[in-house]
Amino acid sequence: MSLDRAAAANVASVLTEALPYIQRFTGKTIVVKFGGNAMVADDLTASFARDIVLMKLVGMNPVVVHGGGPQINDLLNKLNIKSEFIAGMRVTDAATMDIVEMVLGGSVNKALVTVLNRAGGKAIGITGKDGGLIRARKMLVSHKTAEMTEPQLMDIGQVGEVQAIDTSIIDTLVASNFIPVIAPIGFDESGASYNINADLVAGKIAEVLKAEKLMLLTNVAGLQDKGGNVLTGLTTRQVDGLIEDGTIYGGMLPKIKCALDAVKGGVTSAHIIDGRVPHAVLLEVFTDEGVGTLITNRRN
């Protein structure tokens, strides 16, 4: 069926708007963290996969890092293993770590690889343990209860932070035209596994790769001011100010700090985008308006 004139004009307008972005980002690395609601909704996962494959086909180099909290919770519940959270972090003993590794490195990673491949891509799933990608160290969490006069640092098990990134395996996959799909599991010098926040992993990988963009999919429209309006086009200095005046707080704070650290570390721009919007990645990369919050490394 042929398009009517208005529909044809709209298609032409979209393609024309996308062209300069394709030209600008050809050959550039874009690190995308995928998780949250988008990951558990089949239609959003499918649209995400098509976005990533299109980016690869037009000459960009997408690198995907994924989470999997809801899927981990589901399996722990089925096995009657109780989860405990301290300061928003899952207490991870050896039994829980086995489940985390099974879910993140197994079922979730391979399901996402399958969707990307069905969309026409060439994806390969790895964890941070493969090729020595992510060296980790134990994370100690600051925790304070009403009974405490001062916060204490707590050991919450096999929860880690990134100590070092060796990008050799990513470089090899990208050079061979594959899309790396990375589960955020690291290892220490003894070989022990660590569960690491996926935002943190994505930010550190983007920083080491000197990526053009870091894109963090979330469950909100973007960074909002105190009136609920989405903020965008922010410099690192402006974001620092929003943290200082309390505009950025709570659950958004770690995500913003991750994006901020990546941009200060050499990533050209970071984007906090709404993963609940179909084709959110495509809209952010290829259109003038975008669908979230842009943070750049411009110095004002």
Q: Which domains does the chain show, CATH number per domain?
A: 25-296 (3.40.1160.10)
Give tens-digit pLDDT for 35-62.
866 777 888 999 999 999 999 999 999 9
Q: How confident is the model over 175-228, as pLDDT tens digits?
A: 999 999 999 999 999 999 999 999 999 999 999 999 999 999 988 777 777 777
Rounded Cα gap, residues 53 and 120, in angstroms: 7
* 166 or 276, which is more confident: 166
Rounded to two decimals, the pTM is: 0.89
| AA letter at 156 | I
Contacts of 113 (CB under 8 A, 6+ apart): 123, 124, 125, 181
Query: CA-CA distance, 82 to 7, in Å (whole number)?
Result: 53
